[in-house]
Amino acid sequence: MLPLKEATSEKHRLAERMPFNVKMFHGELSKAEYLNYLIQQLELFKTLESKSLIHPNLSRIQPLLFDIQELANQKIELPPVLNATKQYTAYLNTLNEKSILPHVYLHYMAIMFGGQMIKSKVPSSGKFYKFNEMSDCIQSIRNVQRDEWAEEVNRGFDFTIQLFRELELPMEFENTSHSVQATI
């Protein structure tokens, strides 16, 4: 059986090369585009963390709320949760504490590796990418990851790629005003 990283490297390459991600990597996202991304990440991490948090320092909800509030304070309009996010979180909600772990691996490793190369390029102070004792956080995931997860991690990459596609579309805002706290 291939090591997990190798068995998922093709999808990693596809995700990395999605135009939205490339723009983020090159520091080319507007504040509104980045806020749209953060709102989707908040929904995703709320779902992940409602099922499983294998190390307390992994939690991303407070850092995401901080980054979102920072942009909302600059009068950037809060975007809605996108369909791709709704579909992914609906799928994650069918999983349990154990079967969600491939998605935990996928999203926390994404910010602890690729995210470290992005954090200085985003139009925010980037608390989302800052972890206390990051090596312990990485180790907590290394301790549970399994090569058998490849198919499920690749499914998570497919949902993520779909989200990057939707993030590229022109933004639509709901008529109703809502606050950051209401998104928790």
Which residues are near ligand HEM by CB under 6 A?
4-5, 12, 15-16, 21, 25, 105-107, 109-110, 113-114, 117-118, 160
Least distance in angstroms from the C-beta of 26 to ligand HEM: 9
Across the chain, the runs of DSSP E, i.e. the strands, are none
User: Residue 4 or residue 76: which is nearer to ligand HEM going by CB?
Assistant: 4
d(CA 164, CA 145): 25
Please say which residue, 25 or 66, places its beta carbon nearer to ligand HEM: 25
Residues 39, 79: contact at Cβ < 8 Å? yes
Residue with the shortest CB distance to ligand HEM: 114
Burial label, 133 (beta-carbon count in 10 A; 0-12, 13-18, 19+): exposed
CB 18 within 8 A of CB 164: yes
By C-beta, is 72 or 112 nearer to ligand HEM?
Answer: 112
Cβ pair 89, 40 in contact under 8 A: no
By beta-carbon proximity to ligand HEM, the closer residue of 128 and 175 is 128
How far is it, in rounded angstroms, from Cα 90 to Cα 94?
7
| CB 118, min distance to ligand HEM, A | 6
Contact 14, 161 (CB under 8 A): yes
* Encoded tokens for 140: 């907590």
CB within 8 Å of 128: residues ≥ 6 apart = 38, 41, 60, 63, 64, 67, 111, 115, 119
What's the closest the beta carbon of residue 40 comes to ligand HEM, in angstroms?
12
CB of residue 8 to ligand HEM, shortest distance in Å: 7
Of 106 and 122, nearer to ligand HEM (C-beta) is 106
In the complex with ligand HEM, which residue's Cβ is closer, 88 or 179? 88
